[in-house]
Amino acid sequence: MTEINLSFPNIDSRLFLEDLTIISMEILGNICVEKLILSKGDINIINTINAVVHIKSGHLVFPCLQKCIKHLDVSHNRISGTFFKPELFLIAFMENLEFVDLSGQYLFQRRYDYSFSTAFSTYADTQPLPDIIFLMPKKLKHFNLGGGIYRIGQLLNITFENAHNLRYLNFSLNGLYGFNVTLKGLQNLKTLDLSGNDVSVIIETFFDTFPNVTHLRLADCFLDNDFILTHGRRLFQPLKKLEQLDLSRNNLIKLPKDIFKSLNQLKIINLAFNKLFSHPDYLNTPNLHILYLNFNNFISFSSQEIQMFNKLEQMRKDKGNLKLYIYGNSLACTCETYSFISWITFTTIELDRKNYTCIDQKGDLIFTADFKNLNYIQLCLSSVVLNISVFLAAAILVIMFTVFVVVKNKLAVKIFIQRLLGKFVYPKRRQDFKFDAYIIYPESLYQLVCFDMVENVEKQFALKFYIPHRDQLFGLCKEEDITESCKNSWKLVLILTQEFMDEPLAYFTLSSCLTSITLTTPNRLILIMDSKLNILPNIEFFLGSVSESNVLYTDLDQPLPHELWAILGENINRDDQN
C-alpha cells in the first residue's frame, strides 16, 4: 500500500468511527505506507510511539512505517498533548521522509502551552539557554510547521543537522520572538516563512546563513521601522538569489532608499498593508515583475518616482509589463497631483485597475477618471493662471516700490552698496564744517535774509550762517566765494525765484550746489521756492536731487509765516545724513 488518505472533509467519518479525536498509529507500524494524509479533521492526539519505534529485548526496532513513509500530512487539526513533546523529534528517524506538514493546529485551543523557553526554563534559571541541535530526516525537502505549535516563544541558536536537502521551511504563526540568534545548517533552503511571529528584535546578520533563499515571507512580523531604516540594506544584503519578498502588514512608514540595492534578482515585492508614503529605489531590481503597494498611505507619486517607474518599465521591455498594485491608497485628485493622475491613465505599466477612488480639492470622493474631464482641467488651469497673475502683480509692485525708494534715497542706497562692498563711507557731521548754512538768494531779498531770517532762524536756533552781504571777504571774486562757501557749510539754503534764475551766475550756483551733494553729504540742499516760479525743463534734474522734505514753497511777495521759519531751522539742525 502506497497511500492512506483520511482527509476528513473528503469522507464521512461517521461511516467507521464515532470519535476520531485520538488516533493510535500502532496499527500502521508494519504497513509500508509512503503517503499518509490525516488532514482537516478534529484530531487532538496522535500516538506514534509504537508505530515508529518498538523496544524489544532492550533494543530499538524500527517498523515498516518508519522506513517507507515519504509524505506525512496531519495539517489543520487541533493536535496537542504528547505529540509536541519527544514524538515530534522521532520524525528524524523516518529515513525516507521528504514531506511533512504539521501546520494549521493554531486554529484550535490547546490543552497546554509548549515552547522551547518552557522546556529549558529550569536550565535557564541558573545559566544561559544552550544552543540546540535539531535532527532532520536526511531526505526531507518540505517542512511546514506554520501554526503548528502554539507560542513556541524565545528562539534559540539552532543547528539543523542533516538539512542539506531541505528546500522549504515554514515557521509562521508559531509565536516566535527574539531573532537575535543564528540558525545554521539551512544553507540550501529556498523558501523561508517567518510570518506572524514577533521579529521586532533581530540582528542584521540573521540572514547570513541563508545564502540560497529565493522566497522570504516576513508578513505581519512587527518589524521595527527604525531598525529597517538603519540596518535594512545590511539585513537583506546576503540574499543575493532572493526572488520574492513579502514585507506586508508590518506598519512600515518608510524604507531606506537602498534597501534593495543588493537584490537584483527580485521579481515580486509585497509591501501591502503598511503605512508607506514614499518609495525606495526600485531601479536596483531590474527583474521586478510584480509590486504590491495596496493599502498604504500614498496620495500620489512625485515626478521623480514616476520617472523611476517609467525607467523600470523600459528596463523590462523584453520581459513583460511591470504589474503595480496601488488599490486601497487614499489618492488625491488635485491640481498638484494632476501629472500623477494622468500617468495612471496613460502608463504602459499594468495596474491593478485603471480607475481609482480619490479625494478632490473640496474633500469629495470622486474617481480618477472623472478628474480628467474638462471641468477639472479648467479648474487647474484657472488656478495656475491666477497664481501666475498674483505673482506678476506682486513682482511689479515690489519693483515699483524698490524704484521709488531708490530714486528718493539715491545717495543712501549708494552708501549702503559701498558698505556691502567693504568700502566704508561715513557721512560728515556738523562739526566738520565752519558754518551751519550757506544762504543763497537774489539781490532783491537782501532785507529778508539779513534781517528776518537772521532774527527768526539764526538767532532763535543758535545757528551760524554764511550770508554773502554780511560775511563775504573783501576782494574775493563771486565764483570763488560760492565754491568756498559750499565747501565750508553744513547745509545749503537756496531761495529759488525767477530773479535768481535770471542772474548770470545762476547755473554756476546750481551746479556748485549739485556738486556739493556727495555720498558723505547727502540731503544737504534746502530749497525755498517762490510759488509763482515756473519750473523750467532744464532745472527739473536739479529739483530731482533734493529730498521732498527739504523743499519749502511760499509766496515771497508776502511776509513769511512763522511756521516756515520754524521748519527751516529744524531742517538745518536735523542730522539726516544717513
| Crossing angle of the two packed helices 410-420 and 374-408, in degrees rounded to 10 | 100
Residue type, 318: D
Radius of gyration of the chain (CA): 48
Residue 41 in grid coordinates? 479533521
For the record, the C-alpha cell of 441 comes out as 538768494
Grid cell digits, residue 556: 515771497
Which one, of 74, 75, 76, 4, lies nearest residue 34 by Cα? Answer: 4
> Which residue has 515557521 as its cell numbers?
171
- pLDDT, average across residues 149-169: 88
The percentage of residues in the chain with a pLDDT greater than 70, rounded to a whole number, is 80
Helix (H, G, I), strand (E, B) or coil at 60: strand
d(CA 220, CA 271): 11
Q: Comparing 268-277, 435-444, 526-535, which segment has the lowest mean pLDDT?
A: 526-535
Q: Provide the whole-model pTM.
A: 0.64
In this structure, what are the phi and psi dihedrals at residue 501, rounded to the nearest 5 degrees? -65, -25
* Cα 461 from Cα 115, distance rounded (Å): 103
pLDDT tens, position by position, 164-196:
999 999 999 888 999 999 999 999 999 999 999
Q: What is the pLDDT of residues 307-329, one digit of tens each?
A: 999 999 998 877 888 999 999 99
Provide φ and ψ at 425, rounded to 5°.
Answer: -105, 120
Task: Output the nine-digit C-alpha cell for 369.
Answer: 477618471
